[in-house]
Amino acid sequence: MRRIRIILWLLIATAAAIVGAQLVLQTITNDQATRTAEEQARTAKEVAREVVTGEFSLIDHHGNPVKDEDYRGYWLLIFFGYTHCPDVCPTSLGVVGLVMDELGPDADKVQPLFITIDPARDTPEIMAEYVADFHPRIIGLSGSSEQIKAAAHSHRAYYAKAPTMEGLEEVVGEYAMDHSAYLYLMDSEGVYAHVFSPTDTVEEIAAGIREYQNQKN
């Protein structure tokens, strides 16, 4: 009888210990989750500043070699795309053109760049013709496939030939590209400031640029 009582007490103690340990574990995990969320919010920008170096060495639409350093003093508004793009790129470049108009005199210190991710088709001449139809201030950049790869990497931009269109290439010599569609804002010293989403409005982007410019001054 005494043995049974001891065993029972032991069982209760074990159960209590398990429940207690679980509670403690849960509290620690919760704490960690809260801390991680806060840290993520605080450090996202620092991480972006580290990884989005904004470096590039490309050919502008006049055929001249250019580097990111050549644009110091200007806030860069960078978009990656391609001229055979029927929807996203014309939409985004149209938005960039309207943002430049919306900024008025504040646009003088902003340089929009359109970097092709399809250098096989987008030569500097083709880029020149294309960007001119959206805004006179937009500069189109092309280069070798290695140069484009490096420029995309330094912005953590993604691109790849779209898979389902491959059969089409044989029919009409056309293919589409998948690509990230963010609009990067780099400050006048070439440091990452912000990425705008493809769904941001002209007003939101213009206000965002002004805000970052004011913070910097």
Q: In the complex, which residues of this chain contact other proteins (CB under 8 A)? A: 83-88, 90-91, 93-95, 97-98, 126-134, 158, 162, 164-165, 168, 171-174, 176, 178-182, 198-199
- Identify the CA nearest to 130 among candidates 145, 144, 142: 142
In the complex, the smallest distance separating the C-beta of residue 132 from other proteins, rounded to whole angstroms, is 7
Cβ at position 118, least distance to other proteins in Å: 11
Measured CA to CA, the distance from residue 53 to residue 195 in angstroms comes to 13
Q: Which residues pair with 57 in a beta bridge?
A: 67
The nearest distance, CB 37 to other proteins, in angstroms, is 20
Could you tell me the smallest distance in angstroms from the CB atom of residue 148 to other proteins?
Answer: 17
What span, in angstroms and rounded, lies between the C-alpha atoms of 95 and 117?
19
> Which one, 31 or 129, has the nearer CB to other proteins?
129
Between CA 129 and CA 55 the distance in angstroms is: 25
Report the residue number, 18 or 168, with the smaller CB distance to other proteins: 168
Residues in the chain: 217
- The torsion angles phi and psi of 156, rounded to 5 degrees, stand at 55, 35
Of 114 and 188, which CB lies nearer to other proteins in the complex structure?
A: 114
CB of 140 to other proteins, least distance (A): 9
Per-residue buried b or exposed e for 56-85, using 16+ beta carbons within 10 Å of the residue's own CB: bbbbbbeeeebebeebeebbbbbbbbbbbb
The answer for residues whose C-beta is within 8 angstroms of residue 177's C-beta and 6 or more apart is 82, 84, 85, 117, 118, 159, 160, 161, 162
Closest approach, Cβ 182 to other proteins, in A, equals: 6
Q: Can you tell me whether residue 217 is helix, strand or coil?
A: coil
